[in-house]
Amino acid sequence: MTFKVFIDGRHGTTGLKIDERLAARKDVEILAIPEDKRKDPAVKAEYINAADIVFLCLPDAASKESVSLLAAGNTRTRFLDASTAHRTNPDWVYGLPELHGQREKIRHSQRIAVPGCHATGFILQVTPLVADGTLPADHPLTCTSLTGYSGGGKEMIADYETHGSLGQDMLSPRIYALGLGHKHLPEMAAISGLTHRPLFSPVVGPFAQGMLVSVPLLPRLLPGKPSPQDIHTRLAAYYANEACVKVMPLGEVPAGGFLPATACNDTNRAELFVFGHEEQILLVARFDNLGKGASGAAIQCMNIALGCDELTGLQA
């Protein structure tokens, strides 16, 4: 069987990666809208309603506009939205199948919101611990996320890649979203089950792809004062049967003592690490911000929605 796929926003960073990942698949037909018709709502509506799957790789307002073009009574076309427009909308299913119960919701939903990259790392680590009471829902959390510059989209990619040489400020990692209102914060709290948003510090580095999302914990402030082993055991049990989420051996430190952000690049794998001792624990998620953090996650959800093998076209 061949599935018809329309990528709305095909020329953006996520759209290009989805297109690239689907190009070799013989079960997919990409519906390519003519360049001069891309902004014609009537033509776009034709493509949306002809597709089995529509990927929305657009700004929030444009994503909402595209959804509005679905014909009344069309229950076949399924949306996968990579914007932030619908991630906390109760009428949409959050596209992180590794969360308990979420895979079946994705399988039967017509509207799926693809998670944000920073949010993916935070939610994978925190949700199991909130669910089992290890972390109280009102616990104050902080999170630091180091990402490659490709997560900033075309303009940031151009800033890093089109200059003959970078200025000193761009050779250094740079903290951003200093107003403490990053667009991923609503989903980070809502999906993980927290009643308050974490204090979140995203950092962009002078490398293209890769991501490290870290969450520190203080056992003395948590019920039962869990040890690193306790936290590791709970995460390992939660993700025991998952192909794309791997809980790494407790305290495993790479040779040299450094944890690089790029080891999962070009895969759909997320690695979860637990470090620490009786007084402090550090959780770290490592994955590709363009893989499990964007296009790979979108295709994984598409596979589930269409009844295909979940890893078709993906490397775990």
Residues designated catalytic: 117
The CA distance from 190 to 107, in Å, is 21
Both tokens of residue 244? Answer: 């794309």
Distance CA 56, CA 153 (A): 15
CA–CA separation, 24 and 8 (whole Å): 19
Of 57, 251, 277, 128, residue with least CA distance to 259: 251
Sign of torsion, CA 84 85 90 91? negative
**DSSP line for 52-120:** SEEEE-S-HHHHHHHHTTSPTT--S-EEEE-SSTTTT-TTSEE--TTSTTHHHHHHH-SEEEPPPHHHH
Using the CB atoms, write b or e for 14-26: b if 16+ within 10 Å.
Answer: bbbbbbebbeebe
